[in-house]
Amino acid sequence: MNTGLTQRQKAAHDLMIKKNYNALVMANAANIQYFAGVTEPSIHACGAVIIPRAAQPELAVMWLDKEAALGAVHGINVHSYTPATQGKVVSKILDSFSAAEGPVGVDDYAMEYLGNSLKRSLPGIELADAFEAIERLRSIKSEEEIHLIRKACEISAQGMRVAKESLRPGVTELEVSALAEQHMIALGSDTMRHDTIVASGPRARLIHGFATQKKIEQGDMVAIDLGAVYRGYCSDIARTFVVGKPGGKIQSAFDSLRRAQDTVLAKLRPGVSFREIEAAVHEVTEPASHRLIGFVGHSLGLHVEELPRLESGSSSNQGSKIEKNMVVAFFQGSIKAGRNSGIRLEDTVLITGSGAELLTNYPREIFSV
């Protein structure tokens, strides 16, 4: 069995001991890949991985996917079900290990899609929300995961280059998005995990300015946020462009954002608290009358946004610190500077033993096109 996979399964058992779970049931695609090593999208869509506390993982899949599952896993029993029997099959697996006699940790998808059927089949079963604990377990990346994220970042940089080259008056936001995504897929990217943001003119101020049929105009500021996905692992990068020349206020706001990012890059290392990172950002931006909208950043991996988020105000983040082999993206938000809100600068960063390594290798400047 894959050594990395074995280590992840051991981490799952350690989590069960810590939380006093008798088993974990997970149906989120990220967890199916992480704990069972399955990359097939069809299995991600309908499968579930069950890890009893005292046994090896079990995988439940749609009957049409069983052959593919058997070829994809090693040392994992594969069970099949029809659309009407998924909950019954998972319940039978839990019952065979007496796992339902104590709390069973479930992720978000298992709670939503299997919760009721598990309760019907196993009256009295206690389902515990394990979503956050599982995501935090995934936050420390293996060398293999880092390699895949690094490759995704290389592809993203090329996607941003194509997006920049396509910007001109008269082209639509969707055309820019399509050209960038098509190029990333040609370089090996999977389907994007979030719609590409191409937000021009007044739309640049939107938090989620996903590409539309709006035509880009001369003088528009354009915010672009995209991310390639390589073998399931995500990347995240955002840049700001101006179709024409950026005015002084736009340049000043971007310079403030760039200084804040440089400050964070210099400060990121294992042991630094989330609170220290946030404070460093505000020390740079607030004296310039600029404010970061949204939280500072987020972890990423099999999802483009994972826990932990770099926001000290969250109750679950009290005392949280940066750790080696975390991969984070920052800044998640945009800078607020009066009418010039929407200026973005986001990069994917690996936390090393002594600092931070920028993985998205693309010029960090505001571009005039």
CA dihedral 196, 198, 202, 207 (to 10 degrees): 20
Q: Which residues pair with 367 in a beta bridge?
A: 241
For the cut 70, the answer to whether the pLDDT of residue 316 exceeds it is no
Contact 327, 146 (CB under 8 A): yes
> Count of H helices and E strands in the chain?
11, 19
Full-model pTM: 0.93
Could you give phi then psi for residue 45, rounded to 5 degrees? -70, -35
Compare 289 and 50 and report the one with higher pLDDT.
50
Query: Where in the chain are all domains bearing CATH 3.90.230.10?
Result: 143-368
Question: What pLDDT, on the 0 to 100 scale, is given for residue 100?
Answer: 86
Contact 157, 335 (CB under 8 A): no
Q: What's the CA gap between 366 and 359, in Å, rounded? A: 19
| Fold of domain 3-137 | Creatine Amidinohydrolase; Chain A, domain 1 (3.40.350)
Q: Which residues contact 219 (CB under 8 A, 6 or more apart)?
A: 242, 243, 244
Q: What's the CA gap between 243 and 157, in Å, rounded? A: 20
Q: Which residues contact 286 (CB under 8 A, 6 or more apart)?
A: none
CA dihedral 242, 243, 244, 247 (to 10 degrees): -30
Question: What pLDDT, on the 0 to 100 scale, is given for residue 318?
Answer: 56
CA dihedral 139, 143, 144, 148 (to 10 degrees): 70
Q: What's the CA gap between 44 and 229, in Å, rounded? A: 15
Q: Report the pLDDT averaged over residues 128-139.
A: 95
Lowest mean pLDDT among 46-60, 114-128, 331-345: 331-345
Q: Report the pLDDT averaged over residues 177-183.
A: 99
Q: Which residues contact 153 (CB under 8 A, 6 or more apart)?
A: 228, 235, 237, 348, 359, 360, 361
Single out the residue of 33, 53, 60, 351 nearest to residue 193, CA to CA.
33
Q: What's the CA gap between 273 and 310, in Å, rounded? A: 9
Q: Report the pLDDT averaged over residues 138-150.
A: 97
Query: Where in the chain are all domains bearing CATH 3.40.350.10?
Result: 3-137
| Fold of domain 143-368 | Creatine Amidinohydrolase (3.90.230)
For the cut 90, the answer to whether the pLDDT of residue 336 exceeds it is no
Single out the residue of 265, 260, 259, 225 nearest to residue 357, CA to CA.
265
Compare 319 and 189 and report the one with higher pLDDT.
189
Lookup: tokens for 273: 């608290």
Lookup: tokens for 13: 């058992």
Single out the residue of 236, 247, 268 nearest to residue 356, CA to CA.
268
Region of residue 265 (left: phi > 0; alpha: psi -120 to 50; beta: else) = alpha
Question: What pLDDT, on the 0 to 100 scale, is given for residue 313?
Answer: 59
Q: Which residues contact 238 (CB under 8 A, 6 or more apart)?
A: 197, 223, 224, 225, 226, 344, 345, 346
Lowest mean pLDDT among 16-20, 27-31, 278-282: 278-282
N-terminal to C-terminal alpha carbon distance within the chain: 51
> What share of the chain in percent tops pLDDT 90?
75
For the cut 90, the answer to whether the pLDDT of residue 81 exceeds it is yes
**310: pLDDT confidence band, cut at 50, 70 and 90?**
confident
CA 293 vs CA 199, 220, 273, 304, 330: distances in Å = 16, 21, 20, 19, 12
